[in-house]
Chain A
Amino acid sequence: MTPVLTARKLHRSFRRHRLLGPDYVTPAVRGVDLEVEPGECLGIVGESGCGKSTLGRLLLGLLPTDSGTVTCLGNQLGDLSKADMRRLRAKMALVHQNPLGALDPRRPVGDQIAEPLLIHRHLGYASQSARAARKEAVLRAVALDPVLADRYPHRLSGGQRQRVVLARALITEPELLVLDEPVSALDVSVQAQILGLLKKLKAESGAGLVFISHDLRVVRQLADRVAVMYRGQIVEQGSTEAVLDTPRHPYTRLLRGAVPSLVPGHRVKSESRAIDAFPEAGCSFAPRCEQARVGCRTEFPVLSSCGGSHSVACLYAPAREEIAR
């Protein structure tokens, strides 16, 4: 199968101009490679500020890359004309973290759900009735009462709003869906409902999903594969089970330890050694790494296979047997 999305060596940094002295440069994404197959969900996890959301925006072409290429459905994003790019957007959708912010407060949600059909005339929903029928279908797909379509966003609950945002994303039948922390703003019980809905959509739509989250438990429920990001780089990638059950990278293990466990006596490791500056050479995780050795400070670890599709960017990644314990 051809992937719906391929990213090669993506780089993006943010520059803040200073009046005196050199500009502040914050590298947000550094050399990311990834692929998403149709019907597959790739989870991207990492702490806040690691570049997850920037990566999501790069993948959708909402933010220009400094270097590297994104290919979506056979189109290289930078090469398209503005009109072609807008046309392609019907096939690639974004679900934003904060559903209230993502909805226009001044328009009934039903109008907003149907708006992409008005934007993308080429999809063929020319008549009012065709659009209404499609809207009905998509409302049913996200299990939202059609009565609510006449309401304004502020009169819906958080879960209902996220269903609206999903419905708006789905109405053009996209083949790529980037979900940026789609459940973080929701209560746990509502989270479960939305996750259930996303699972169903994933199975039924056949679209490729990029699921960005800081919450490993949520990612585990939905993702087929997981990429762990640290400071703009993918440090570990592989099937969800492989990465989350037998993590090879010290950072992944730290992340997993940060999830509060319900098992009594299971200790939660804290992240106390936050360090701001990027190391000039070597592994960027080295300053925080408990297993860092001399070589980590000088040599850059490349993401390489450590068994099948599982790959890790660590010079001294422990063997599988050591982790199993």
Chain B
Amino acid sequence: MTGYFLRRTLRAVITLWVAVTFFFFLLRVDVNIGLLALNMNASQEAIDSFNTRWGFDKSLLDQYWLWITGALQGDFGYSFRDARPAADWVAERLPKTLELSLAGFALMIVIGVPAGLAAAIRNGTATDRTIMSLAAAGYSLPSFVLGLALMYTFAVYLQLLPSTGSTSFAHLILPAATYGLTGSAGIARFTRAAMLEVLGKPYIAAARASGAPPAAVVLRHAVPNAAIPVVTMLGFSVGQLVGHAVIVETVFAWPGLGQALISAVANRDLAVVQVLVVVFATFMIGANLLVDILYGVLDPRIRTAGGANG
């Protein structure tokens, strides 16, 4: 088990390095950064002095070495715009994004998983069809449309909740609901599919044949086995949490990383874009690592395949 854990962690670190390096070069190859960052009318001298000041006149490998050694020490360069450390952007905005996305994620699980379980257990009934119709609607509805609809209903029409901003708990409700409702549709569909597959397995038939009451069959045999794919799916959603927040943050003017990314790209603020890439990649890869580890815990078959003894 320890070996499995270490191997997975090492692999995650390498993946992160590859992803970050790839983006480093992608953002710089064959691009005159000075020209991009200033405007089209800037003089050649201004562009050259900009590039010299920020080190873009050095070779790509030199730039990469400076950046990666700095990054390892927590120095991700400086914003072109306000000359503050790029890492400060993250430090300021990450808590806001986490607040929104974790609230949304919790809602997603609390709504999606029970809905999917209920639909699978009541497979083929009106309950199943109702839940699945709602899920299909939620799945097809873009989050910004749902967000605007919720905003119109609860903020504009009923005037119960604030429409934008992030200063109180009331501000969190609408963005988190938008996030959670859209996400829960996919989770419900996936949970249902996973449960239905497991409920069709012979060991479920065997448990029923031995006289186990329906609740025991579901709780003792079906749910633990269906949990494996569902946890995978949830794990991947954790990776997308931060990235996914971009849209919802924009709709509700929520000052998180998503908004930061949009303004940094619009401003050609290279160091900020770069540090945000690092953050998003870390979340994604970290979530995958978490899934791998949970897999080992949940599925005895994986544990044996990865470790020396099981």
A contacts, CB < 8 Å to B:
60, 62, 85-90, 93-94, 96, 98, 101-107, 115-116, 119-120, 152, 154-155, 165, 168-169, 172
Contacts and interface: CB of A to CB of B under 8 A. Distances in A.
B203 A103 contact: yes
B210 interface: yes
Given A115-B220, A152-B301, 8 more contacts: A88-B211, A94-B209, A98-B202, A104-B225, A105-B203, A119-B210, A152-B300, A155-B304
Contact of A155 (B201, B212, B299, B310): B310
Contacts of B304: 152, 154-155
Interface in B178-217: 201-203, 205-213, 216
Considering the complex of A and B, which 7 residue pairs feature the smallest CB-CB distances, nearest first? A89-B211, A101-B202, A86-B211, A152-B300, A94-B209, A104-B203, A102-B206
Contacts of B207: 104, 115
A178 to B, nearest CB: 9
A16 B73 CA distance: 66
B296 to A, nearest CB: 13
B300 A116 contact: no
Contacts of A96: 202, 205-206
A155 B224 CA distance: 19
B208 A62 contact: yes
B102 interface: no
A121 B309 CA distance: 35
A148 B203 CA distance: 19
A115 B202 CA distance: 16
A105 B208 CA distance: 16
Contacts of B221: 104, 107
A89 B210 contact: yes
A87 B304 CA distance: 37
Nearest to A62: B209
11 contacts: A94-B206, A96-B202, A101-B201, A101-B203, A104-B207, A105-B225, A115-B210, A116-B211, A120-B211, A154-B301, A154-B304
B202 A87 contact: no
Contacts of A154: 300-301, 304
Given A119-B216, A155-B310, A105 B301 contact: yes
Nearest to B300: A152
Given A104-B221, A104-B225, A154-B301, A115 B203 contact: no
Contacts of B310: 152, 155
Nearest to B228: A106
Contacts of A152: 300-301, 304, 310
B35 interface: no
Nearest to A178: B209
B298 interface: yes
A88 B211 CA distance: 8
Contacts of A169: 210
> What DSSP secondary structure best describes chain B's contact surface?
helix
A223 to B, nearest CB: 22
A102 B304 CA distance: 20
Interface in B291-307: 298-301, 304
Contact of A106 (B206, B209, B224): B224
Interface in B210-237: 210-213, 216, 220-221, 224-225
A149 to B, nearest CB: 14
A74 to B, nearest CB: 17
Contacts of B210: 89-90, 93, 115-116, 119, 168-169, 172
B180 to A, nearest CB: 29
Contacts of A119: 210-213, 216
Contacts of A88: 211
A154 B209 CA distance: 22
Contacts of A168: 206, 210
A104 B299 CA distance: 11
A116 B224 CA distance: 18
A110 B207 CA distance: 14
A31 B221 CA distance: 36
B202 A102 contact: yes
Contacts of A107: 221, 224
Contacts of A172: 210
Contacts of A86: 211-213
Contacts of B300: 105-106, 152, 154
Nearest to A60: B209
Nearest to A165: B206
Nearest to B208: A62
A60 B221 CA distance: 21
Nearest to A168: B210
A263 B206 CA distance: 41
Given A101-B201, A155-B310, A89 B209 contact: yes
B217 to A, nearest CB: 10
Contacts of B213: 86, 119
Nearest to B225: A106
Contacts of B216: 119
A82 to B, nearest CB: 9
A197 B296 CA distance: 36
Nearest to A94: B209
A15 to B, nearest CB: 14
A250 to B, nearest CB: 35
A115 B211 CA distance: 10
A109 B208 CA distance: 17
A165 B201 CA distance: 15
B298 A106 contact: yes
